[in-house]
């Protein structure tokens, strides 16, 4: 019989960090996932994810990412390889920054928190970042603290580290049903026929969480967003210091991108917008011809040197969206022994080093200054998303 203090369902970034932290607190921990690992359809699976502190007026998120960046640096040392790259973050706008609330509020809050963002006009953009069309992008700032993490490799490294420290990882196990009574959860049964028992069960299954826990379906949905990898003809234009992790008037366009990836040899560009509604298991995740046409128009306007770059890979990244776009990390209000850590809403990975301790505090019943924001909550059907960088216009 598989029995442990904690059973974590889902070995993506939410589950892997929680399992590792709970094990480091001397609990016995089992971690299950359908696999293969890292799961190719998980939101955290890709070559890179943005690590940025810029969250408009939201001071808590900024402070959480600030702490997470310290954690990424520790992981670089602990894991023995550089998986977090501090390229800095470049955030540009097509109008004076004062007219773009997300950028302006982020810039002001960085200053208020003691950081040193550098404001840039069109001339400075053209001189320092020649890949950009500085005739269109006329204002913005560069913040030296931030960059990107090699997300898929981070997840793999954390899974391996958790195993080395004693987490029992079971790949090829797909959670199918919760065990126990209406008032208490005692474990999980998998599609493959295994049974796992635990004192506490933590669901960290991303967009699949709502399938296991139908009561979350009114407040969560899965949406798919296009991701593109391109080969530039001139990689030097897209290599730091001439290029950084960047957003292109993101709150009004959804577009963001990464420097030339030294391992993969590509420039990644993606859209953080409305997306398309998908079922986590039943719907095919493909990038459409219309997405590619949208990409090419964006590149021609923004990065002319990449406009005819070879498109070598596409994927549709699946977000686990909560209606308000804040995470969902809490104990179940009606079923003892059950907690949830999910709801990344397309911006969760950058918090990875603080997600595990946050989830562990919640399931252990310990105070955490950040937990209230992510509590189990009632959300009306018309609740508007609040993630400040996300494009909420028509897709």
Structural domain contains residue 93: yes
Question: For residue 72, which of 148, 161, 165, 144 has the smallest C-alpha distance?
Answer: 148
The model's pLDDT over 219-235, given as tens digits with 9 standing for 90+, comes to 999 999 999 999 999 99
pLDDT higher than 90, residue 277: yes
Instruction: Measure the CA angle with vertex 349, ends 36 and 82; round to 5°.
Output: 80
The model's pLDDT over 55-81, given as tens digits with 9 standing for 90+, comes to 999 999 999 999 999 999 999 999 999
Structural domain contains residue 353: no
Structural domain contains residue 232: yes
Read off the pLDDT band of 395 (50, 70, 90). Answer: very low
* 337-353 mean pLDDT: 98
The model's pLDDT over 109-152, given as tens digits with 9 standing for 90+, comes to 999 999 999 999 999 999 999 999 999 999 999 999 999 999 99
Report how far residue 245's alpha carbon sits from residue 350's, in angstroms, rounded to the nearest whole number. 13
What pLDDT is recorded for position 279? Answer: 95
Q: CA-CA-CA-CA torsion for 395, 59, 61, 377, nearest 10 degrees? A: -80
Q: Would you say how long the chain is, in residues? A: 395
DSSP designation for 393: S
Q: Which residue has the higher pLDDT, 182 or 364?
A: 364
pLDDT higher than 90, residue 182: no
The model's pLDDT over 45-61, given as tens digits with 9 standing for 90+, comes to 899 999 999 999 999 99
100 in Cβ contact with 251 (< 8 Å): yes
What pLDDT is recorded for position 311? Answer: 98
107 in Cβ contact with 97 (< 8 Å): yes
The pTM of the full predicted model, rounded to 2 decimals, is: 0.97
Report how far residue 31's alpha carbon sits from residue 262's, in angstroms, rounded to the nearest whole number. 32
DSSP designation for 260: P
Report how far residue 133's alpha carbon sits from residue 122's, in angstroms, rounded to the nearest whole number. 9
pLDDT higher than 90, residue 328: yes
Structural domain contains residue 174: no
Structural domain contains residue 33: no
110: CATH: 3.30.9.10
Strand partners, 224: 276, 318
The model's pLDDT over 131-142, given as tens digits with 9 standing for 90+, comes to 999 999 999 999
Within 10 A of 70 (CB to CB), how many other CB atoms are there? 11
What pLDDT is recorded for position 1? Answer: 65
Residues spanned by the domain of 282: 87-147+221-322
Task: Pinpoint the alpha helices (H) of the chain.
Answer: 13-24, 59-79, 101-112, 122-128, 151-164, 209-212, 250-253, 289-302, 352-364
Structural domain contains residue 390: no
Structural domain contains residue 68: no
pLDDT higher than 80, residue 203: yes
* 318-324 mean pLDDT: 97
264 SS3 class: coil
What pLDDT is recorded for position 42? Answer: 86
pLDDT higher than 80, residue 300: yes
130 in Cβ contact with 236 (< 8 Å): no
Structural domain contains residue 311: yes
* 196-218 mean pLDDT: 97
The model's pLDDT over 16-34, given as tens digits with 9 standing for 90+, comes to 999 999 999 999 999 999 9
Task: State the chain's mean pLDDT as an integer.
Answer: 97
What pLDDT is recorded for position 394? Answer: 63
Percent of the chain with pLDDT over 90: 96
Contacts of 124 (CB under 8 A, 6+ apart): none
**Pairing assessment for the beta strands 89-93 and 139-143 based on DSSP bridges:** antiparallel
What pLDDT is recorded for position 334? Answer: 96
Report the domain count for the chain: 1
């Amino acid at each position: 019989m598989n029995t442990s203090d904690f059973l974590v369902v889902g070995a993506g970034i939410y589950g892997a960090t929680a399992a590792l932290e709970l094990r480091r607190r001397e609990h016995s921990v089992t971690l299950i996932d359908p696999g293969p690992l890292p799961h190719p359809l998980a939101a955290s699976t890709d070559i890179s994810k943005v690590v940025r502190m810029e969250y408009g007026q939201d001071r808590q998120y900024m402070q959480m990412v600030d702490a997470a960046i310290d954690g990424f640096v520790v992981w670089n040392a602990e894991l023995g390889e550089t998986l977090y790259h501090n390229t800095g973050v470049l955030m540009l706008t097509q109008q004076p920054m004062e007219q773009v609330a997300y950028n302006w509020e982020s810039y002001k809050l960085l200053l208020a928190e003691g950081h040193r963002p550098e404001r840039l006009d069109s001339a400075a953009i053209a001189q320092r970042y020649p890949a950009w069309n500085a005739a269109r992008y006329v204002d913005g700032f560069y913040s030296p603290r931030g960059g990107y993490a090699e997300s898929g490799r981070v997840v793999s490294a954390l899974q391996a580290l958790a195993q080395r420290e004693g987490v029992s990882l079971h790949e090829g196990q797909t959670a199918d049903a919760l065990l126990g009574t209406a008032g208490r959860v005692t474990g999980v049964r998998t599609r493959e026929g295994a049974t796992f028992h635990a004192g506490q069960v933590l669901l960290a299954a991303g967009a699949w969480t709502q399938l296991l826990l139908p009561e979350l379906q009114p407040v969560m949905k899965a949406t798919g967003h296009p991701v593109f990898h391109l080969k530039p003809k001139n990689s030097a234009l897209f290599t730091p210091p001439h290029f950084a992790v960047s957003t292109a008037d993101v709150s009004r366009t959804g577009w963001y991108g990464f420097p030339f990836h030294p391992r993969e040899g590509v420039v990644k560009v993606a859209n953080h917008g409305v997306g398309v509604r998908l079922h986590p298991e039943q719907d095919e995740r493909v990038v459409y011809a219309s997405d590619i046409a949208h990409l090419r128009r964006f590149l021609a306007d923004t990065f002319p040197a990449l406009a005819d770059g070879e498109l070598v890979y596409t994927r549709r990244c699946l977000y686990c969206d909560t209606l308000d776009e804040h995470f969902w990390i809490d104990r179940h209000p009606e079923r003892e022994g059950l907690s949830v850590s999910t709801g990344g809403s397309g911006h969760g990975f950058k918090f990875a080093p603080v997600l595990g301790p946050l989830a562990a505090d919640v399931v252990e019943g310990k105070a955490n200054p950040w937990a209230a924001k992510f509590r189990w909550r009632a959300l009306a059907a018309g609740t508007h998303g609040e993630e400040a960088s996300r494009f909420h216009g028509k897709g």
